[in-house]
A and B are shown apart, each in its own frame.
Chain A
Amino acid sequence: AQSVAQPEDQVNVAEGNPLTVKCTYSVSGNPYLFWYVQYPNRGLQFLLKYITGDNLVKGSYGFEAEFNKSQTSFHLKKPSALVSDSALYFCAVRDLAGGSYIPTFGRGTSLIVHP
Chain B
Amino acid sequence: EAGVAQSPRYKIIEKRQSVAFWCNPISGHATLYWYQQILGQGPKLLIQFQNNGVVDDSQLPKDRFSAERLKGVDSTLKIQPAKLEDSAVYLCASSLDSRDNTGELFFGEGSRLTVL
The interface of chain A, by Cβ under 8 A from chain B, is 4, 6, 32, 34, 36, 41-46, 49, 51, 90, 94-96, 100-108
Contacts and interface: CB of A to CB of B under 8 A. Distances in A.
A110 to B, nearest CB: 9
A90 B102 CA distance: 17
B5 to A, nearest CB: 11
A34 B55 contact: no
A42 B109 contact: yes
The range of chain B's interface size is 20 to 34
Interface of B: 4, 33, 35, 40-45, 48, 55-56, 91, 93, 98-99, 101-102, 104-110, 112
Contacts of B42: 4, 6, 90, 105-108
Contacts of A51: 102
A32 B102 contact: yes
A46 B104 contact: yes
Contact of B45 (A32, A90, A103): A103
Nearest to A6: B42
B104 A101 contact: no
A44 B48 CA distance: 17
Given A44-B91, A90-B42, 13 more contacts: A4-B42, A43-B91, A44-B107, A46-B104, A46-B106, A49-B102, A49-B104, A101-B48, A101-B98, A102-B45, A103-B45, A107-B41, A108-B40
A4 B44 CA distance: 12
Nearest to B45: A102
A61 to B, nearest CB: 15
B101 A32 contact: yes
A39 B105 CA distance: 16
